[in-house]
Structure 1
Amino acid sequence: MKNILLLLSVFFLNQFSGQQKISVWKKGEMPNSKGLKLNIIEEKEGRITQIPEAELFTFLPAKEERKPMAIIVIPGGGYRHLTYDLGGYSYAKWLNTLGISAFVLNYRLPTSPDLMQKEIGPLQDIQAAIKLIRKNAAQYGISPDKIGVLGTSAGGHLAAMVSNISTDYTELKGDWEAISTVPNFAILVSPVIDLGEFAHKGSRDNLLGENASAQMISEYSMQNKVTAKTPPTILFHAQNDNAVPVINSILYYEAMIKNKVKGALFVFPKGEHSIGIFNKTELTDNWKKVCADWLGNMGN
């Protein structure tokens, strides 16, 4: 009886919160696949190392509090695993307190044995997710032209990729082709940007392979892809980040300045590679207020 009551409670909680799981790809439409039947592998709680296909998890504020803006949260994990809880759900729940709808994306990792071209697998998934949310914006009570991305660590690299690579890799046809894959704005938290001198080696090796050419490294170093068409972007980083050096965010922001891209960069003296919803210092914790104010100025 207790188990039945628990299941009913979870069911009604999901019904009223609006949270649901959505497959990004319809059956037979997922590109770049060998057709392998993979299982979800979770190495430990909160960290997935393999998924068969991309999934979105919705976090919707109450309709009375819901603003037109929505954000796709892209978890990090060095392109080896997905920190979907700490680097996904926690950000989504915080965004809900601002009245912003959030969608957490669990994307195919480039280490997946099912991918034929590993480096574009994650990009295909975030591009398709943006199209899917834009197409169904009315259903969620949001605006299709106020869809942003929030990426942390390697998820920040993926957020920068989808912000700067306008080529549509989804292979979706029909009315899908007219829907843009580029977000309207981006939030990058401790992002991997450079895959060369200042790279997070694990992210680079997992995305491009251990013997990536200089050309590939340059192509996937996102400071080299910024143009005047890059959407407004705000970056947060800690000076004492020993995993992803702060120069990553600095290089991206310098490219933004050169190309007159609207945005901002905030570097905190402490925070390491752990800037998130709960932070070790009050100063670093201010990133949330700064971010909320910036989003407010974006017209949410």
Structure 2
Amino acid sequence: MSSRNLTSNFLEFRNRAVQNRTNYTNNNKLDDRSPLLNDDEDNEVVHFDRDDAFLWMESYRRMQSQFDEVRNQIKKLQQLQAKCLTRPGFDENDHSDFEIRSLTKDITSTLNNCRLAVQKFSSFAKKSHANSYEQHLVSNVVQATINTFQDLMLKFNQCQSNYVQKLQSQKDKFDQVIPHIAIDMYASPFGDKEFDQISLLSEVQQQCASPVDEYTIQRDKEIRDAYQSIQEVNSTFMDVSTIIFNQKASMDQIECVIGDSINSIEQGNKELVQAVTRQQRRLKIKLILLGIGIFILLFVVFISYI
């Protein structure tokens, strides 16, 4: 019985193998080396084009990433300014001033890039879109982007103004302390009357003047750099005001276009109603004439039969 079962199994496997071998030529399309798309199927493939919505959404995402970068840079700048204000006055190993200047330049350049991006994005709102809803949506997004940019500019300007005020107050306090030190230098540290007071004073003044002058020059340079950055921010604010004015003009144009479209739609609706009433009247007249003609024809036929 076992030999018979094995024989039947062998015959079954052989028949299956023969069937698969004969059908292999008919199943070339299932081969791994066959392409996924045939040449005759290229016409059936649907290709999608990118819409304008994807473009302004991508530009909006890029601007938001730039805004986040500016926020992080402003936080870092505030930390460096606080460190620079609380450091010792004659610390030569501290490089926070150079970092503040470089970071201020980076923030200014980033804000200029953001300004150009906002201008391009606002000019995109002036283009024609599919419908008025999309125009209104893009206009709202542009207005929100301009508001965010203004907030960043105000924050940066306030940061620089506070830093300049604190530097100026430190300089004033330092100038108030230095004259008292200079006056105390006139007194001789020794009780000897024959001590050369002029030479002692010149020597002490030479020792104290060099770090004081360096500190004053350094603070003046920091104030000039901060003032220059504030001037650049003010120029950027002027550009933003022009952007807002242009945006307002574009919004007025959009409102005028929407009002004209509403008037044209109402006028077209009235003309359509008038055309429908005229068509109904013509149809009634045609039906009446057709009924009269059929009646006359039936009357003539009836008379002919009589």
Which bracket does the TM-score occupy, shorter chain normalised? under 0.3
TM-score for both structures, normalised by structure 2: 0.22
Larger helix percent: 2
**Greater RCO (Cα-Cα under 8 Å, separation 6 or more):** 2
TM-score for both structures, normalised by structure 1: 0.23
